[in-house]
Amino acid sequence: MYTKIYISHSSKYDYINKIYNPIKKSNLNQENTFFFPHDDNNKVINTKDVISKYDLIIAEVSLPTTGQGTELGWADYAKTPILCINYIKNKDIISK
């Protein structure tokens, strides 16, 4: 059985090279159904309707945006699980 996964990210993030292409080239793409909101064929689709039909939202939140926050709000309202990931490169993480 496959999982329907919606990919959420900022439009300013290098989503083609860092998210879309790696997923599309992996076995995950054959084992699951992914929705890539910025693919050319998906740009005119009402994402609010799509999100409620998916099993999981994976949100790349390194560059948060209002639009992504809205999408995550819709997912939360639909009780769709959300997995947030944040890419940190060469930064010291200090815990207080």
- For 54, counting Cβ atoms within 10 Å of its Cβ (0-12 exposed, 13-18 middle, 19+ buried), the class is buried
pTM of the model: 0.85
Predicted confidence at residue 38, as pLDDT, reads 87
- Coil, helix or strand for 69? helix
Q: What are phi and psi of 70, to 5 degrees?
A: -65, -45
Beta strands 82-85; 56-60: pairing state: parallel
Does residue 43 sit in helix, strand or coil?
A: coil
Query: What is the pLDDT, as a whole number, of residue 46?
Result: 85
Residue 83 has a pLDDT of: 96
Write down the mean pLDDT value for the chain.
Answer: 88
Q: Is pLDDT above 70 for 44?
A: no
Whole-angstrom distance, CA of residue 59 vs CA of residue 74 = 13
Which tokens go with 74? Answer: 């819709």
Q: What is the percent of the chain where pLDDT is above 70?
A: 88
Residue 9 in this model has a pLDDT that exceeds 80: yes
CATH architecture observed for domain 4-85: 3-Layer(aba) Sandwich (3.40)
Each domain of the chain, given as residue ranges in start order, spans 4-85
